[in-house]
Amino acid sequence: MATIREPLVRIPASLVSVADYERLAPEFIEPATLAYIAGGSGNEQSLRANIEDVARLRIRNRLLVDSAHGHTRLSLLAHSLAHPVLLAPIGHQGLVHRDGEVAVAQGAAATDTALVTSTQATRRLEDIAAATDGPKWFQLYFQPRKEHTLALVRRAEAAGYTALVVTLDTPVQPLSRRAQRAGFRIPSDCLPASLAEFSEQTRPPSALAGVFDGLMAAAPGWQDLDWLMGQTRLPVIVKGVLDVEDAAKCQRRGVSGLVLSNHGGRALDGVPSAISVLPEIRARLGKTYPLLIDGGIRSGYDVFKALACGANAVLVGRPQIYALAVAGALGVAHMLKLLRDELEVCMALSGTPTLADIGALSLAPDLQLTNLGYH
């Protein structure tokens, strides 16, 4: 078995893309852990769709556009952001680096990047917040007992998080076949630090109890979302939306924004990618309603495509884990710089000097092979 390398302290000249971090990841992550990170649920149809649907889109280049005053700034939920790339909430980051989510927060701080901290983080939410003075949101899973959910909300408010991102698409977490085959188990030193004070008896029932009698018995409903919004002044964003009717229902109930997501292909397998449903949801909810997406974002060109389809911003998931494993906070910062640099190049060459200039016309029409005489 190959020896797992320590994180790099310098970025080699050969590391020039987000894909390079994924390519190097097996040298820095234990095989079973890598299977857990890289894998998706079921037959991994949705995992593949995330990449394929983004890759299928083509960008329209434009000539002689004045881009002298171009920039990537935006306003999102009344906050000014330097660019439209956020770090998605990913739990158990201590699996790949000793400093875990704190190192990710340091990388975010170095690149003016907004951070979304996971309920499942291996570092306390307060310690993660203290590691960055940049924008930060807290991703919340409803706990089986409301007082525990409320305790997390109050801690997030006190720590300086400025929005709550409520994940609703995984009341049951499907098992990854890759992880099962690799024999992966989350080690005891990588459990969620912010949940440590909650006793085992109040955590969700084991899947051994059966789906409907076990996990789904404690699953939240619309009334719980309404309750949560009544408990905080922070904007509440719902993550995990793919259905246009669910999206409209969230908007009507006063949800401040949505993250369109299939959980990185780790929730219900066979559902569409976020980018494929984005245009329909944008059309239904209007031009000004905040919509973010995740899944399949691997370059600045992918960020551009998501914005052209109607997103205000994107979240990157697995790339931050690979970058963290390869080079710690430095790797996360470098990965984010690569995304931002590529986005700026793409904007310049497509004649869209600001994010407001990016739209549906920034994408080329689908190539119809039949028009070229192919069948």
Q: Which residue shows structure tokens 């969620």?
A: 192
Domains and CATH numbers, the chain: 18-361 (3.20.20.70)
Catalytic residue among 83, 97, 263, 334: 263
Mean pLDDT by 10 residues, the chain (375 residues): 90 97 98 97 96 96 92 95 98 97 98 97 98 97 95 98 95 87 94 87 47 61 97 98 98 98 95 98 98 98 98 98 98 98 97 97 71 36
Active site residue 263: yes
C-beta of residue 122 within 8 angstroms of C-beta of residue 93 = yes
Q: Residue 372's pLDDT is what?
A: 35
Q: Residue 199's pLDDT is what?
A: 64
DSSP letters of 223-261?
Answer: HHHHHHHTT-SS-EEEEEE--HHHHHHHHHTT--EEEE-
- Model pTM score: 0.93
**Cα separation of 319 and 115, whole Å?**
14
Residue 45: burial class (beta carbons within 10 Å; 0-12, 13-18, 19+) = middle
Residue 228: burial class (beta carbons within 10 Å; 0-12, 13-18, 19+) = buried
